[in-house]
Structure 1
Amino acid sequence: MEKRQCMKEVEKNLTITAQGNSIKTAYGNIFSILRKKVYSEVEGLIIYMEPLNVYELEVKKHSYTEKFLGLFMPREKNNCEVTAEIVVKIKYIQC
């Protein structure tokens, strides 16, 4: 029986935007989205996935004051939106 190479290696550039209460939370959401996106785009069994580079394209910070019933207990709320381009190295078995 002849041996056949099944494992493929590819690099993908993905641009992802995510939101969170802080920049740290937004980046965590980006990598959660990244994992789902790679699994949906690659046909086969993914063995290894490594982010090689992360390029921050845009960061937006929004702050606003939230009040209970419009008058009571004002508090500062933050929302961050991060857009990043990620270069990912993927090793997978093509079935």
Structure 2
Amino acid sequence: MSQLPETHDIDDRADKAHEDERHAALAYLDEAWNEAVYDGLDEDCLAQAALFTAIRSMVATYGEDAAADFAERLAGRIRAGEYTIPENRQ
């Protein structure tokens, strides 16, 4: 199994292509998320299911060790604000 790529391991052209693909994927997931919430699903249940599905996919693609290493780095990234969307301040 290969290791999950670090952001700095990808050259600029590949990073741009991956960035575009990540944005498209996020748009699909946001739309599905919003539809599920509109249909009455609890957001905590959605979050748990999304995390499970994402981690299961990473384990299948990269193996347990690489997925676990990625998960271990998440706490620092969360604390650093990588997953915080700033509120619009006017």
Q: Which has the higher helix share?
A: 2
Q: Which has the higher strand share?
A: 1
| Same structural fold, with TM-score higher than 0.5 when normalized by the shorter chain | no
Higher Rg of the two aligned structures: 1
Q: TM-score, normalised by structure 1?
A: 0.33
